[in-house]
Chain A
Amino acid sequence: EPEVTQTPSHQVTQMGQEVILRCVPISNHLYFYWYRQILGQKVEFLVSFYNNEISEKSEIFDDQFSVERPDGSNFTLKIRSTKLEDSAMYFCASSEYRALPGNTIYFGEGSWLTVV
Chain B
Amino acid sequence: DQQVKQNSPSLSVQEGRISILNCDYTNSMFDYFLWYKKYPAEGPTFLISISSIKDKNEDGRFTVFLNKSAKHLSLHIVPSQPGDSAVYFCAASDTQGGSEKLVFGKGTKLTVNP
Q: Which residues of A contact B (CB under 8 A)?
A: 4, 31, 33, 35, 41-45, 48, 55-56, 58, 91, 93, 98-102, 104-110
Residues of chain A within 8 A of B93, CB atoms compared: 100-101
A35 neighbours in B (Cβ, 8 Å) = 102
Decide if B42 touches A101 in the complex (CB within 8 Å).
no
Contact between A45 and B102, CB atoms less than 8 A apart: yes
In the complex, A107 Cα to B91 Cα: how many Å? 14
Contact with A along B90-104 (1 / 0, CB 8 A): 010101000111111
Closest to A93 in B: B43
Closest Cβ of chain A to B80, distance in Å, is 23
> Is B44 in contact with A109, judged by CB distance below 8 angstroms?
no
* Total A-B pairs, Cβ < 8 A: 61
Q: Is B49 an interface residue (CB 8 A)?
A: yes
Q: If the complex has contacts A56-B99, A99-B100, A100-B95, are A91 and B44 also in contact, measured as CB distance less than 8 A? A: yes
Asked if A101 meets B32 with Cβ closer than 8 Å, knowing A42-B104, A42-B107, the reply is yes
Distance to closest chain B CB from A53 (angstroms): 14
Q: Given A100-B95, A101-B31, A43 and B46 touching (CB < 8 A)?
A: no
B107 x A107 contact (CB < 8 A): no
Contact flags (1/0) for B78-112 with A, using CB distance below 8 Å? 00000000000101010100011111111100000
A–B Cβ pairs within 8 angstroms, 13 of them: A4-B43, A31-B100, A42-B4, A42-B104, A42-B106, A45-B102, A48-B100, A56-B100, A58-B101, A102-B51, A106-B46, A107-B45, A110-B43
User: How long is the Cα–Cα vector from A100 to B41 in the complex, in angstroms?
Assistant: 26
Select from chain A the residue with minimum beta-carbon distance to B101.
Answer: A45
Indicate which residue in A31, A55, A104 contacts B46 across the interface (CB closer than 8 Å): A104
CB distance from B88 to the nearest CB of A (A): 12
Could you tell me if B100 and A98 are in contact, using CB atoms closer than 8 angstroms?
A: yes
Q: Is the CB of A56 within 8 A of B101?
A: yes
Do A109 and B103 touch across chains, with their CB atoms under 8 A apart? no
Chain A positions within 8 Å of B31 at CB level: 101
* Contact yes or no, A100 B46, CB < 8 A: no
Residues of A within 8 A of B43 (CB): 4, 91, 93, 107-110
